[in-house]
Chains A and B, each alone.
Chain A
Amino acid sequence: MTIVPEFEFKNKIRELGFSLPRGFLVNRVEDYRGNFPAVAKISSDKITHKSEIGALIVDIKGPEELRESIDSLRTKFPGEPIYVEEMARRGIEVIIGLLNDEKFGKLILFGIGGFYSELIKDVTFKKLPLDREDASDMINELRYRNIFSGYRGLRTSEDIIVNLLVKISETWKGENFQQVDFNPVFLYSDSYLIVDAKMII
């Protein structure tokens, strides 16, 4: 079981044409060439729940704050690489995942993300490959699917979701993996952003 480092995996899927926030591995403030606000974090396979142990700093408003953030991360986690990326604007949070199950084979997950996601467990699975009907069924199988058609000023479209799910299915149906998490993915009215991505081979 090998965890692919976050920045490596993110670079790979960016090259495959998926939409992600721009990000950079940094030593100094000058290494960051993205916009503010930004997010800085330790890029390590060993750390999973980053925000709970202070390995993730969000809403960094400018270069000065970024310098402080880098210093703080370096002091707490000496020697670990630091990854800084543009902070995604708020969207509808969903989780998408891939799982190679020994009985069922390659599966794709789609579900409601965000703070309560593990409590409500509103998710559904399909076998790869996925056609557009299957992808649209995944939306309809979620209990809280109404969130997509407009909730608290946020909404998205069925096409955005279907296109993304089918693209993920097409990309990974012939690949080797144990598990992939895209969590969270932010959905907007006309686009999406994969905010975090992890892969275990």
Chain B
Amino acid sequence: MSLDIIFNPGSICIIGASRDKGKVGNVILQNVSREFKGKIYLIHPVAQEINGIRCFRTVQDLPESPDIAVISLPPEKTIESLEELGKKGCKVSIPVSGGFGEQGEKGKQLEMKIKNICEKYGMRVIGPNTVGVIVPRVGLNTALTEIDKTTFPRDGKVSFISQSGALGLLSMDAASDNGMGFSSFISLGNEADVTENDAYDLVSKDTGTQSIALYLEKISDTDDFLKKSRDISRTKGIVLMKGGQSEAGNRATSLHTGSLFKSNFSLRGIFNQHGIIQAFSETQLLDYALALAYGKPVMGDRIAIITSAGGVGVVSSDLLENKGFRVSKPSKNLEERLRKIISPIASPLNPIDMTAEATDDQYENLLKEIESSGEYDSVIVFALFQTAGVTEGLIDILRSFNEKGRMPFVVGVLGGEYTKNMVRKMLSLGIPTFPSIERATDGVWALRERGKFMRRFLK
């Protein structure tokens, strides 16, 4: 219905805003007012203004119906406000407080009331008990954590839907600090109205979203979810971390088949079949999503490794071979061409190790030769900026290879604060970059999985 207004809201109303630092109502006010360019309305029974923003006494008094309302009030009061917002014509309400279904029967009845209000007025509710919704490109941020304790994301191509508020918000915090951008973050809370399938529909239609990261503990309609996924996965990458044990319900297991369908791992094949890549940690979840949003699908197992450190080449080879890649040798002809680019003491045999003699130019020429040779399906580049001959200029080379080249690739780095800054720069330029050897190999693995799934549409 009207849920897509979160990608283009003209006005936001906050009920329960507070001028007392540290209170939830204040945190929300700070986060909403920081970057939002539309109108902000506050509802307060006595205050004339808070932080310079005018307050209205009731929802009824508002000069227009707000597109989005954020409510930070106790449960009973939340219900009253929702009723008023519905009546006023508000499109999407986000009640943040807990004390609903998670607290027992009485709370569940309150959630029923929310559902009824939604149906009565055609309003949508995200929550209750949600940590908020973030859409960086429109400055929408209703999160419950303070700016001095959190890195909020810049705009990007990954939408993140989470059934756990804190896990979602905090892992996004970590990824944002690395420089990863997001097109949206939706904490579903108790799902009194908007379910994971609704949110999934919403972000799948968003053209700014290239991949979708899902943290789900329960899937209410598995069949619908899988069908949707198969459709969405034609155009967008999907990564799912499924919390909790397998949902296998059938326990009539005097036969083997049923007893084998118990581990969480057994879902992998079913997810693959529907274009979903399964993640087993929050790091994998966001790394895979990052790779799928910014990288190209990998259509074969042959991979080239470019590095200026021998050990990095060795370790990445082992990790990649374990993931099903072939770190194959170049043909004699290609070997000769590669040899001309690098130092006499360096090795053109895959992994291609330029040694500490590496320069930006060597990176550039190696990439060109590897792409034009047709001998590899993907390439992993370790951009080790600590190498004497390597400069920030390498970023431009990688950017141009990413934008103009057709060859799938990911970049791996290793290092401290200086390197972290390089990662932030590369990510802001859309280069799929990962801050460790293992995570870079995970990234290219996700692109390989994507390629395997995509092959069925290429015939």
State in angstroms the CA–CA spacing of A105 and B268 once bound together: 15
Contact B255 A97 (CB under 8 A): yes
CB contacts under 8 Å to B, within A73-91, are none
Contact B250 A1 (CB under 8 A): no
State in angstroms the CA–CA spacing of A117 and B272 once bound together: 23
With a cutoff of 8 Å between Cβ atoms, the chain B residues found around residue A111 in the complex are: 260
With a cutoff of 8 Å between Cβ atoms, the chain B residues found around residue A133 in the complex are: 455-456
Contact B269 A104 (CB under 8 A): no
Of chain A, the residue at the smallest CB distance from B456 is A133
Total A-B Cβ pairs within 8 A: 92
Contact A123 B266 (CB under 8 A): yes
Question: Of the 9-residue stretches A20-28, A30-38, A62-70, A176-184, which lies at the interface with chain B?
Answer: A176-184
B401 within 8 A of A: no
State in angstroms the CA–CA spacing of A13 and B254 once bound together: 21
State in angstroms the CA–CA spacing of A48 and B274 once bound together: 35
Contact B273 A137 (CB under 8 A): yes
CB contacts under 8 Å to A, within B212-258, are 219, 222-223, 226, 247-250, 252-258
B109 within 8 A of A: no
Of chain B, the residue at the smallest CB distance from A178 is B252
Contact A118 B269 (CB under 8 A): no
B121 within 8 A of A: no
Interface size on B, residues (CB 8 A): 29
CB contacts under 8 Å to B, within A154-200, are 178-181, 183, 198, 200
Of chain B, the residue at the smallest CB distance from A97 is B257
Interface size on A, residues (CB 8 A): 38
B147 within 8 A of A: no
State in angstroms the CA–CA spacing of A180 and B254 once bound together: 11
Of the listed residues A99, A105, A109, the one surrounded by the most CB atoms of chain B closer than 10 A to its CB is A99
Contact A200 B252 (CB under 8 A): yes
Contact B273 A105 (CB under 8 A): no
State in angstroms the CA–CA spacing of A85 and B255 once bound together: 22
B5 within 8 A of A: no
Of chain B, the residue at the smallest CB distance from A199 is B255
Contact B269 A141 (CB under 8 A): yes
State in angstroms the CA–CA spacing of A117 and B255 once bound together: 14
**B165 CB, nearest partner CB in chain A, Å:** 24
Q: Quick one: given A127-B273, A137-B269, A200-B254, are A109 and B260 in contact (CB under 8 Å)?
A: yes
Of chain B, the residue at the smallest CB distance from A109 is B257
A102 within 8 A of B: yes
State in angstroms the CA–CA spacing of A100 and B261 once bound together: 11
With a cutoff of 8 Å between Cβ atoms, the chain B residues found around residue A97 in the complex are: 255-257, 260
CB contacts under 8 Å to A, within B417-445, are none
Contact A101 B256 (CB under 8 A): no
Contact with B along A95-116 (1 / 0, CB 8 A): 1011111111101010100000
State in angstroms the CA–CA spacing of A123 and B150 once bound together: 42
With a cutoff of 8 Å between Cβ atoms, the chain B residues found around residue A125 in the complex are: 261, 266-267, 269-270
**B101 CB, nearest partner CB in chain A, Å:** 21
B391 within 8 A of A: no
With a cutoff of 8 Å between Cβ atoms, the chain A residues found around residue B226 in the complex are: 104, 127
A6 within 8 A of B: no
**A129 CB, nearest partner CB in chain B, Å:** 11
Contact with B along A115-149 (1 / 0, CB 8 A): 00110010111110001011001101100000000
Question: Which of B222, B268, B455 lies in contact with A104, CB distance below 8 A?
Answer: B222
17 contacts between A and B (CB under 8 A): A1-B252, A99-B261, A103-B248, A104-B247, A109-B261, A117-B256, A123-B266, A124-B268, A127-B274, A134-B273, A137-B269, A138-B269, A140-B452, A178-B252, A179-B253, A180-B255, A181-B257
20 new A-B pairs (CB below 8 Å) besides A117-B256, A126-B270?
Answer: A95-B256, A97-B257, A100-B250, A101-B248, A101-B250, A102-B250, A103-B219, A104-B226, A107-B270, A109-B261, A118-B256, A124-B268, A125-B270, A137-B273, A137-B452, A140-B452, A141-B272, A179-B258, A181-B256, A181-B257
